[in-house]
Chains A and B, each alone.
Chain A
Amino acid sequence: AQTVTQSQPEMSVQEAETVTLSCTYDTSENNYYLFWYKQPPSRQMILVIRQEAYKQQNATENRFSVNFQKAAKSFSLKISDSQLGDTAMYFCAFMKHQGTYKYIFGTGTRLKVLA
């Protein structure tokens, strides 16, 4: 069975600074997908970034980038130039490449950006 671990329940960062959120996972699969979702106070789950395990290159989306270490089963999210609107709960999620396309979520990291 797959598991996803987010070891940082809460983090804070000063506006305009950089912060890194950690995620590790356990799987025997070789092909899979990894995701970071953002959940602001509105509760709406928003996809931040996606990584395909068979791609070596780390995914980037504007100020958001990942450090994907397949051998170490690590998938961290870096937020550059943090903004007040980045304050949210962040969830890491795993999905097998084939099957019923179910997500396995981590327990989340609550990020607060300080003015």
Chain B
Amino acid sequence: NAGVTQTPKFRVLKTGQSMTLLCAQDMNHEYMYWYRQDPGMGLRLIHYSVGEGTTAKGEVPDGYNVSRLKKQNFLLGLESAAPSQTSVYFCASSYGRAKNIQYFGAGTRLSVL
């Protein structure tokens, strides 16, 4: 029962470096989401996808790009990391008949120095 798997779990970057966070789900879910969690602010939606090959902006999309080339994978990219992107990143997915329940990964803690 893998569910939603995020890699890596921890990462430290220097300002200006790039990286990609991988989210993989084995539940054949249509919808996938990327959130960031900051102290005192709850979870905020960065980007989401309603199906393979489609993506859309969420609440805080600036500085991030995403791709959904395969149904089971949703990638979050930082092209030029900034200290303001230090956060914990969560991926989630949901499926057809019960789209209203999202299943979350364990999160990635990212520090940008």
Contact = CB atoms under 8 A, between A and B. Distances in A.
Nearest to B49: A100
Contact of A100 (B41, B56, B92, B106): B56
A108 B99 CA distance: 23
Interface in A34-51: 35, 42-45, 47, 50
Contacts, number: 45
Most buried by B among A45, A95, A100, A108: A45
A105 B106 contact: no
Interface secondary structure of A, over-half rule: loop
Contact of A101 (B100, B104, B107): B100
Contacts of B48: 100, 102
B101 A105 contact: no
A21 B16 CA distance: 41
A40 to B, nearest CB: 11
Contacts of B90: 45
Interface string B59-94: 000000000000000000000000000001010101
B43 A105 contact: yes
B74 to A, nearest CB: 14
B110 to A, nearest CB: 13
A95 B92 CA distance: 14
B42 A91 contact: yes
Contacts of A50: 100-101
A100 B107 CA distance: 22
A44 B41 contact: no
Contacts of B58: 102
Given A43-B88, A102-B48, A91 B33 contact: no
B40 A107 contact: yes
B73 to A, nearest CB: 19
Interface in A72-109: 91, 95, 100-103, 105-108
Given A42-B106, A101-B99, A101-B100, 8 more contacts: A33-B100, A44-B106, A45-B92, A100-B50, A105-B42, A105-B43, A105-B44, A106-B42
Interface of A: 4, 9, 33, 35, 42-45, 47, 50, 91, 95, 100-103, 105-108
